[in-house]
Amino acid sequence: MKRYKALAVTIKTADEIEKMRVAGKLAAQVLDMIGEHVVKGATTEQLNQLCHNYIVDVQGGIPAPLNYGRPPFPKSICTSVNHVICHGIPSDKKLKDGDIVNIDVTVIKDGYHGDTSKMFVVGKPSILAERLIRITQECLYKGIEIVKPGARLGDIGHVIQTHAHKHNYSVVQEYCGHGIGATFHEDPQIVHYGQPNTGDEIVAGMCFTIEPMINAGKRYSKILPDQWTVVTKDRSLSAQWEHTLLVTETGVEILTHRDDETIPRIINHS
């Protein structure tokens, strides 16, 4: 028997879109704030504290990761260092020269979520690490650039996969982007691999993240005994960048856009 998957994609109202813009902007501002603190000798727990206090005290928001899931995630941000793919738990371990760190921030404001992550480097990164970080950001941007009503979800995965493979990198398959709104993770799933002209159609008013995880080695991952930290099986370096997007009538708006980016905040294809 054929199985039909019920897709519960929510289309945002004008009112919800305004709240998503606010939440997205706040999440982006946390990444702007934390950059100068990502230095040799700092601990990821110190970064967690700074982000937590900023979100709660300055922004009047809620850090969505804190107590999220099962077992409850114990911190307010994810910090994923070197071969950690995602969901790294802030700890008292000190950052050292050459480390690469993904900081993933999700802010809830007025009931709506903004979810974004960025790569930081401690001191001077290796040429290889720098290249992985750059190509991974290009993967995110290429995914964003094809988002518009009528395009299909497989198109996003396809451009990301093609760019990663061209540079001999692999794409993590077990974790993906997601719809987002009043719920942190909602339909649809946005996988970062796939074939053009497949998958569900993209519709104006959808909000979702694209957040490719790209490995310098093989794609395989495993979860550490803490039940959260995801690492590369072969211990190769991994990078990730994430934005929360709104599909507009003519293209896409990057709700978590920062001023330090080369991609515009609004892409209009008409």
**Interface residue list for ligand MF3 (CB under 6 A):** 65, 68-69, 73, 78, 87, 104, 106, 115, 211, 228, 242
- Least Å distance between CB 62 and ligand MF3? 12
Binding site for Co ion (CB under 5 A): 104, 115, 209, 242
Could you please report the per-residue DSSP string of 114-143? EEEEEEEE-SS--HHHHHHHHHHHHHHHHH
Nearer to ligand MF3, 114 or 251 (CB): 114
Contact call for residues 159 and 146 (beta carbons, < 8 A): yes
Element (H, E) at 15: helix 14-34
For residues 140 and 108, what is the distance between their CA atoms, to the nearest angstrom?
23
Give the three-state DSSP class for 29: helix
Indicate which of ligand MF3, Co ion, none lies near residue 16 (CB less than 5 to 8 Å, by partner kind).
none
Indicate which of ligand MF3, Co ion, none lies near residue 138 (CB less than 5 to 8 Å, by partner kind).
none
Contact call for residues 191 and 157 (beta carbons, < 8 A): yes
Tell the burial category of 234 from Cβ atoms under 10 Å away from its Cβ (0-12, 13-18, 19+).
middle
Nearer to ligand MF3, 78 or 85 (CB): 78
- Least Å distance between CB 4 and Co ion? 26
Nearer to Co ion, 104 or 253 (CB): 104
Nearer to ligand MF3, 41 or 111 (CB): 111
- Least Å distance between CB 68 and ligand MF3? 4
Omega within 30 of 0 (cis) for the link into 188? yes
Residue nearest to ligand MF3 (CB): 65
Indicate which of Co ion, ligand MF3, none lies near residue 65 (CB less than 5 to 8 Å, by partner kind).
ligand MF3
Could you please report the per-residue DSSP string of 40-106? TT-BHHHHHHHHHHIIIIIS--EETTTT-TTTTP-SSSEEEETTEEE-PPP-SPBP-TT-EEEEEEE
Indicate which of Co ion, ligand MF3, none lies near residue 220 (CB less than 5 to 8 Å, by partner kind).
none
- Least Å distance between CB 103 and Co ion? 10
Nearer to Co ion, 68 or 220 (CB): 68
Residues 6+ positions from 24 with CB-CB distance below 8 Å: 114, 116, 244, 254, 255, 256, 257
Nearer to ligand MF3, 104 or 155 (CB): 104
Indicate which of Co ion, ligand MF3, none lies near residue 69 (CB less than 5 to 8 Å, by partner kind).
ligand MF3
